[in-house]
Amino acid sequence: MLYLISIIFGAMVGSFLNVCIFRLPKEESIIWPGSHCPHCKKPIRFYDNIPLISYFLLRGKCRYCKGPISLQYPLVEGITSLSSLLLIMKFGPSLSYLTYFAFVAALIVITVIDLYHQIIPDVISLPGIGVGLLASVIIPPITFFNSLIGILLGGGSLFLVATLYQWLFKREGMGGGDVKLLAMIGAFLGWKAVILTILLSSLIGSISGISIMVLKGKNFKYAIPFGPFLSLGAVISLFYGQNIINWYLYLNR
């Protein structure tokens, strides 16, 4: 029953995350007006706004104008539901679960917005830094000092890389949004996870980026958002970070 509740809760939050994804880049209110069809602008009734279920009952189309509903909506709701389930399995019904669920939910919004618009909204990352630092005082195992060093290491390391890249190549290679995002990740997960996140995101991003450029015939100046890879690296660090670190130490002892 607990797992079922976590899935339903995740789907409901996922529905709200879709609103954030759609409206934040446009600087629109996420509260008012209510949900409406992006094509015909008609308000969406509550029975057509049930996470996951309504999309399939409506066959991915608006009830009124038959305009297509983006597959993004059920995907975000499904991923958020799965995240909620995995987190409740890891932390149980606790403050840690709520804190890290909020963290993962923020990463989901950041990922999709960055994929669409190549921006990371400050309205998520900057408050996230403060929330992560505050959470380190309340929940284990991240200490306040660990979180603070994570912020400085995360934001500082990417800021240094971005500055050096711009100085060497005379163009922006990494945006300020990535710097703030890694600072937020450091606030929630601590400095050790920052190092692991950088390594994982760089590895996954390099493989994905080269593959995309080869498939699309792009050159190495092709811009690929780094935020989604940082987010993925952070999620892996959250769930398996200590296991990966222990495995690495075991191989090098």
Q: How confident is the prediction along the chain (253 residues), in pLDDT tens digits per residue?
A: 999 999 999 999 999 999 999 999 988 888 888 888 888 888 888 888 999 999 999 999 998 899 999 999 999 999 999 999 999 999 999 999 999 999 999 999 999 999 999 999 999 999 999 999 999 999 888 899 999 999 999 988 888 887 786 777 666 666 789 999 999 999 999 999 999 999 999 999 989 888 887 877 766 566 688 999 999 999 999 999 888 888 877 787 7
- What Cα–Cα distance (Å) separates residue 197 from each residue in 44, 49, 98, 107, 237? 39, 35, 21, 13, 6
Judged by DSSP in three states, 38 sits in: coil
Specify whether the CB–CB gap between 191 and 146 falls below 8 A.
yes
Alpha carbons 147 and 188: distance in angstroms, whole number: 7
pLDDT for res 184 = 97
Tokens encoding 6: 């976590």
How many of the other CB atoms lie within 10 Å of CB of 151? Answer: 25
Residue 44 burial (CB count, 10 A): 17
pLDDT recorded at residue 149: 96
Q: How many CB atoms lie within 10 A of CB 65?
A: 12
The pTM score is 0.91
What residue ranges do the domains of the chain occupy?
1-93, 121-253
Confirm if 186 and 206 have CB atoms less than 8 A apart.
no
Token readout for 175 is: 């945006």
